[in-house]
């Protein structure tokens, strides 16, 4: 293979240097002329295959735990609404600060009840607050808002803060 490549190199490039340089200049000029139309999309979305198993799982999770319009049907009266995850599924790192600001100095001892759409996200957050952050009086609304509505309980309109 090495002899084949070196043979082609010597028979084509070394024997015809002017032609070789001319071909390279034409290729270079063509590339320069068309560079303005070149677009490279290296975003995360373009680098992932649509049939990728992990992408399918991620989209299912985001659909299930999406915070978009989660309070559209209303909220439980007297509750403090805060989104634990943003629309990209990343944890809201300011959630803890907001809880502590509302609770004051005794934040670890306040009674806190986590509520989510179906109770699953609330369970995850409740466990994290109790086990990892040391909150002592943590509860979770089992079944979430879905169960609340099944029990014919009322919701009040969510007041958006701009």
Please write the tens of the pLDDT for every residue from 79-114: 877 777 776 667 777 887 777 777 776 767 788 888
Q: How many CA atoms lie within 13 A of 3 on its CB side?
A: 0
Q: What is the pLDDT of residue 66?
A: 57
Count how many Cα atoms sit within 13 Å of the Cα of residue 156 in the half-sphere of its side chain. Answer: 8
Angle at 69 between CA 159 and CA 129, to 5 degrees: 85
pLDDT of residue 8: 80
In the chain, % of residues over pLDDT 90: 7
DSSP letter at 67 equals -
Tell me the pLDDT tens digit for each residue of 6-39. 888 778 888 888 888 898 899 999 888 888 888 8
- CA pair distance 31, 36, nearest whole angstrom: 9
pTM of the full structure: 0.53
DSSP letter at 90 equals: -
């Amino acid at each position: 293979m090495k002899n084949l490549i070196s043979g082609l190199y010597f028979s084509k490039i070394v024997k015809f240097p002017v032609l070789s340089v001319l071909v390279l200049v034409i290729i270079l000029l063509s590339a320069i002329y068309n560079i303005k139309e070149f677009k490279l999309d290296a975003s995360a979305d373009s680098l992932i295959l649509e049939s990728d198993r992990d992408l399918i799982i991620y989209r299912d999770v985001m659909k299930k735990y999406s915070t978009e319009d989660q309070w559209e049907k209303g909220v439980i009266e007297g509750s403090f609404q805060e989104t634990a995850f943003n629309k990209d599924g990343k944890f809201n790192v300011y959630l803890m600060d907001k809880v502590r600001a509302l609770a004051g100095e005794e934040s670890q001892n306040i009674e806190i009840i986590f509520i989510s759409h179906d109770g699953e996200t609330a369970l995850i957050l409740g466990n994290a607050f109790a086990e990892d952050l040391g909150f002592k009086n943590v509860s979770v609304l089992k079944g979430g808002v879905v169960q609340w509505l099944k029990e014919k309980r009322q919701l009040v309109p969510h007041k958006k803060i701009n």
